[in-house]
Amino acid sequence: MEKAIFYKEWIKTRWYFLLSTLLLAAFTGYCLLNVSRIIEFKGAVHLWEVMLERDAVFVDLLTYLPLLAGLLMAVFQFVPEMQQSRLKLTLHLPYPHYRMVASMLLYGTLALCVTYLVSLALIGICFDALVARELFARVVLTALPWYAAGLAAYFLTAWVCLEPTWKRRILNMLVGAGVLRIFFLAPAPEAYNAFLPGLTLFTLLLSLLGMLSVYRFKTGEQD
């Protein structure tokens, strides 16, 4: 059954997934092109100096793009389920309801991870060849909370989309906006290093919010 669910979700989101992966990779490539230009005109030593003395990571353009990618993935995946009453039909299938929604969320999570890993791989290939490992690690560790925010945005948007009442949806949106703010409180490089394990766990726990909306849907909550 999981394979059928994954295939259904793939058919529904495949074009968005491919487009978002290409766009995030393109923006990442643009950031790395700027790095190459700095090296070409001023040399690798200048790049190192800027990274050490000014705390530059050169991928700041990506800060909110993973968040946007996660938010839109949830919209493309779950809005049709609610607008076309697909969720009601889906929950009538002879399969555990929460397991079904969990499989849908797992698909979206894996798709986003692929998108984010492509971007991180490009960053890794570029910086690992140009700078010391400590500076390379600084760039990656600075960017990781942005990608975690993308997954959080996905889970929170799914929570909003699956909610059966508009009054509660608006409340969920406000809560979600406040939660996402947590991922961008400290703009300094590596500011979240000490909190990354906890932030990762917190992000994964947000996936349970969608189950709360499904419970409310099953109990007949409606506008």
Q: To which H or E segment does residue 164 belong? A: none
**Which distant-in-sequence residues (6+ apart) come within 8 Å of 59 by Cβ?**
28, 31, 123, 139, 142, 143
188: left (phi over 0), alpha (psi -120 to 50) or beta: beta
Looking at the domain assignment, is residue 76 inside a domain? yes
* CA quadruple 89, 92, 98, 102: dihedral sign: negative
pLDDT in tens, 110-137: 999 999 999 999 988 887 777 777 778 8
Q: Binning pLDDT at 50, 70 and 90, where does residue 53 land? A: low
pLDDT in tens, 180-205: 999 998 888 888 988 999 999 999 99
Q: Tell me, what amino acid is at 48?
A: W
What pTM value is reported for the model? 0.92
Whole domain around residue 175: which residue ranges? 2-218
- Spatial contact of 162 and 128, defined as CB atoms under 8 Å apart: no
Looking at the domain assignment, is residue 64 inside a domain? yes
Say yes or no to pLDDT of 42 above 80: no
Looking at the domain assignment, is residue 199 inside a domain? yes
- Spatial contact of 21 and 114, defined as CB atoms under 8 Å apart: yes
Looking at the domain assignment, is residue 223 inside a domain? no
CA distances from 68 to 146, 165, 214 (A): 10, 24, 24
146: which 2 tokens? Answer: 């942005």
How many structural domains does the chain have?
A: 1
Looking at the domain assignment, is residue 181 inside a domain? yes
Looking at the domain assignment, is residue 146 inside a domain? yes
